[in-house]
A and B are shown apart, each in its own frame.
Chain A
Amino acid sequence: QITLKESGPTLVKPTQTLKLTCTFSGFSLSTYGVGVGWIRQPPGKALEWLVLIYWDDDKRYSPSLRSRLAITKDTSNNQVVLAMTDMDPVDTATYYCAHTWQYRGTPYGFDVWGQGTTVTVSS
């Protein structure tokens, strides 16, 4: 059974860097085709894809946020870490990590999601 869980600060100040950890079980991020993505959802708004990382360390970034994002994986500890710089109140959202896989060279559906972690950006 695949599970994922997000962890990190619930409150960050403007201009700070947010660091979130996704700890997962039930799969290995060294298995061919497997990936983990981050998706966020501002209060009352739609889902927004941020970034994903694959088993082979290939990384895909949202073009609009690329300059602010970094993603790394720790395969031995089953974790993926998201860093987002220069946080702003508009970045207030629930942040989800989710399991995905690669199909014909492209990201596929996110089939298992974490419960999400709410991050508020405020001074």
Chain B
Amino acid sequence: QSVLTQPPSVSGAPGQRVTISCTGSNSNIGAGFDVHWYQQLPGTAPKLLIYGDSNRPSGVPDRFSGSKSGTSASLAITGLQAEDEATYYCHSYDSSRSVSFGGGTKLTVL
């Protein structure tokens, strides 16, 4: 059972906007620790998509955005494209001195 809770799956049609939630607690996200997001395409290593709640590494399209409020964070993808079909993971730190990943959300582009 992951400390960070994500929906198992989301879907959307090309061009649409989807959001993926990541729910934590007062010992991780709610304590102010930053949230990071990864995209994992099938058969490949995860790729950092968002760091520090809402920052995009160089090369990540601005269709991807992150936000945080209270004990939750969200990843939004606008202008959905077929190549966005992947599994997305959130990641944060916990005051128990542990690094936590969410359970992953599989995005299907219809």
Which residues of A approach B to under 8 Å, CB–CB? 37, 39, 46-49, 52, 60, 62-63, 96, 103, 106-116
Determine whether the beta carbon of B91 is less than 8 Å from that of A109.
yes
A108 in contact with B45 (CB, 8 Å):
no
CB pair B2–A46 under 8 Å, yes or no, is yes
A46 to B102, CA, bound (A): 8
Q: Kindly count the residue-residue contacts between A and B in the assembled complex, taking CB atoms under 8 Å apart.
A: 62
Q: How close is B106's CB to chain A, nearest CB, in angstroms?
A: 11
**Is B57 located at the chain interface by the 8 A CB criterion?**
yes
Check A116 against B93 for contact (C-beta < 8 Å).
no
Contact present for A49 and B57 (CB under 8 Å): no
Report whether B47 and A113 are in contact in the complex, using a CB–CB cutoff of 8 Å.
Answer: yes
Q: Mark B40-69, 1 if CB is under 8 A from A, else 0.
A: 100001111001100001000000000000
